[in-house]
Amino acid sequence: MPTLNWIGKEAVVNHHHQVPFHLLKDVPDLACGQPGDGNLIVQGDNLVALKALLPYYAGQVKCIYIDPPYNTGNEGWAYNDNVSSPIIHEWLGKSVGREAEDLSRHDKWLCMMYPRLQLLKQFLAPDGVMFISIDDIELPFLRILMDELFPHPQAKNRLACFIWETDGNFDNQAKVKDAHEYILAYSKCFEEFPAPPVIDLSVGKDSKLFRPEIRNTIVKNGPKNPVSLIALPTGFPSDFQEGRISARQDKWPHYDRDLVIQGGVLAEPVAAQSGWSSKAICEEFINSKFQPVLDSKGQKTRFVITSTGAIEAVKVRSESQSHVISVIREVGSTQNTSEVLADMGVKFTFPKPVGLIAYLVSMVTDKSALILDSFAGSGTTGHAVLSLNKQDGGKRRFILVEMESKIAREITAERVRRVAAGYKNAKGEKVEGLGGSFRYCELGEPLFDVSGKIRETVSFSDLARHVYFTETGEPLPRERVTQSPLIGDCRGVGIYLLFNGILGDKRAQGGNVLTRSVLEKLPKFDGQKVIYCAGCLLGKDRLQAERILIRQTPYEIKVS
């Protein structure tokens, strides 16, 4: 598998580890409804925001969709699309150093994307999937980069490179009109990702794909399928009740006598000759006295003789009908979406259509899935999630991250608010809301100050989530956030935190220091224990007897 190198790569490969953990600060005035549904909009640099969200959501996201800058060099877009914003320049200067002065446009783009993709991968559940919109400028680089980040021996984690027909969104002055974009799709683990339960939107409702059974002839002649005999006994089923089919030599299969059908089954045994695609399974069906058998893919299969004399395999279509093809059509356009937003009172250039994101999200079987978009823009992903929930009664949740404060407040959050709660369009007509709510957060201070001390504004629950995540690599389950020094257990190890007077004693040498009396007050745990505390007055023998490992705060708490 080829790898991609660029100026600055060495500096950013591990940069996501160095990003400090920040607090999230609620902004209730910008929230929508009763924000207990789990939906969240975060304003801030998505690199820092993703790191702040990890202790809450690592390994829990089923679907990530991102629409990053395409690196077109177009300065006129509301979302800067040539990676030359002051924020990115400042970040490159700090992260890449003097090398940044020699970076090409592509180098800068890759330096910006790599650590963000590293963090995004940590959010995915084992059966999760990531979709990335892109055009042909950075597609070849992004594909190699993603192959490196999502390795698989046969490159199967690269599920698809979708072609999205954009319905005429092209430059009329170009010699060749680009009427498509790409969407790269990668699974966290190919073996865990289930077949998407959707039907391609361009397939008509009368298509055989919607029939409950799949029928195909088993005749298959060729060098790999030499002619052989299948003996069809009395009782072999047919798909019609009565009739006689003449023995034929001009069509396959060849029969040694006429086929007589009575009561929907073969009345007399016959011998059929042909090349076969499923001979072994058909003979297993015969040996099972015509009871359905499982094919190599686990599908229930039976066989019938048709009125034309063909032998067909009949398979029961699974409840999860799946027909996803690599070309996506008829999901809306950016022009139409811009008009819808304008009618809503929201202005945004080149928004992705709701139908496109809804189609991608619908490839995830879990209707209560968590969906993440860290380049939120106009908030189409949030709109799509609410729309799908309205359609099928799902309980999907979204997390949207938008860097620009003005966009986040006046476009992302405002659009999702109006879609959820309802609004009046440009004509003054009332448009019913889809339902739903969200919290709105901004990035707060880092957990630690420049000297490495825990900030006074950090609460016990904030630090508990951070300690549990950095100790175990997993987020602290939401239901476990209690006012108890035993914050959780993971893989047989109990995790304790003595901080901020959790035992009612806030003195420097009080409840935050592990003493004999404090140990007696701690909730019991039968197993190895890790205790984060400001100090310890117990001897090594006692610690060993109690199976306690001490991590002194703040010095042994990971700051990034």
Q: Where in the chain are all domains bearing CATH 3.40.50?
A: 21-136+332-445
Q: What is the pLDDT of residue 96?
A: 62
pLDDT digits (tens, 9 = 90+) for 178-235: 889 999 999 999 999 998 888 777 777 667 666 778 899 999 998 888 999 999 999 9
**Is the pLDDT reported for residue 308 higher than 50?**
yes
Of 495, 494, 512, the C-alpha closest to 503 is 512
**Is the pLDDT reported for residue 75 higher than 50?**
no
- Poorest-confidence range of 171-175, 447-451, 496-500? 171-175
The alpha carbon torsion through 147, 148, 150, 155 (nearest 10 deg) reads 40
Distance CA 305, CA 217 (A): 10
Inter-axis angle of helices 413-421 and 334-344, nearest 10 = 70
Q: What is the pLDDT of residue 107?
A: 83
**Is the pLDDT reported for residue 323 higher than 90?**
no
Q: What is the pLDDT of residue 457?
A: 85
H or E element that contains 390 = helix 380-392
Q: What is the pLDDT of residue 510?
A: 65
Q: Round the average pLDDT of the chain to a whole number and report it.
A: 88
Region 157-185: mean pLDDT is 85
The answer to whether residues 263 and 239 touch, using CB atoms and an 8 Å cutoff, is no
Q: What is the pLDDT of residue 76?
A: 45
Distance CA 367, CA 332 (A): 23
Burial of 9 (0-12, 13-18, 19+ CB in 10 A): middle
pLDDT digits (tens, 9 = 90+) for 525-541: 999 999 999 889 999 99
Task: Please spell the DSSP secondary structure of 157-214, one letter per residue.
Answer: TEEEEEEEE-SS-S-TTSSS---EEEEEEEES-TTTSPPP--B-TTS-TTSGGGSSEE
Q: Does the structural domain 21-136+332-445 have CATH classification 3.40.50?
A: yes
pLDDT digits (tens, 9 = 90+) for 483-518: 789 999 999 999 999 998 888 876 656 688 999 999
The whole-model pTM stands at: 0.80
Distance CA 251, CA 274 (A): 10
Q: What is the pLDDT of residue 507?
A: 66
Region 356-373: mean pLDDT is 96
Distance CA 65, CA 500 (A): 39
**Is the pLDDT reported for residue 77 higher than 50?**
no
**Is the pLDDT reported for residue 438 higher than 90?**
yes
Region 380-398: mean pLDDT is 96
Distance CA 466, CA 129 (A): 26
Token pair belonging to 115? 């650590």
Region 339-355: mean pLDDT is 90
Q: What is the pLDDT of residue 477?
A: 80
**Is the pLDDT reported for residue 1 higher than 80?**
no
Look at 123 and 1; give whichever has higher pLDDT: 123
Token pair belonging to 71? 């690196």
Give me the percent of the chain exceeding a pLDDT of 70. Answer: 90
Token pair belonging to 296? 């190599």
